[in-house]
Amino acid sequence: MPSQRMIRVNELLKREIAELLERIDFDISGCLVSVREVDVSPDLRHAKVHISVLGGNDELNKKIIRFMRSERIHLQKKIARDIVLKYTPVLEFSCDQKIALGDKVLAILDELETEGEI
């Protein structure tokens, strides 16, 4: 179980990265990019950022992750300027599919429910 300090650092980085993402123009319409979760290593040197893309397909997810990886150094510099930590963590981006899988499960349940009514 993570310590209270690690939980606070995770949430702080999550909010900061989310604010930075609001200012980035992805040049993509019809989808929403959000920060789902941030996991910082205990030594504060690495952080896994889980990105969620709503309204997109697998190709769009890959495109956004490639873009985020290309902007990684720029984002790290802004984080280092805004947040005082012993080390600025190296960001690693991944696409989180939990929300998409949850939507799929809900769609299946709705389908089963309508079939049961017939």
Could you give the 3-state DSSP secondary structure of residue 23? helix
Burial of 39 (0-12, 13-18, 19+ CB in 10 A): middle
What pLDDT is recorded for position 32? Answer: 83
Per-residue pLDDT of 70-89, as tens digits, reads 989 999 999 999 988 888 89
Q: Domains in the chain: how many in total?
A: 1
Structural domain of 43? 4-117
Per-residue pLDDT of 23-57, as tens digits, reads 877 666 677 888 999 999 999 899 999 998 877 77
CATH of the domain at 10: 3.30.300.20
Q: What totals of helices (H) and strands (E) does the chain contain, helices first?
A: 4, 3
Average pLDDT score, the chain: 86
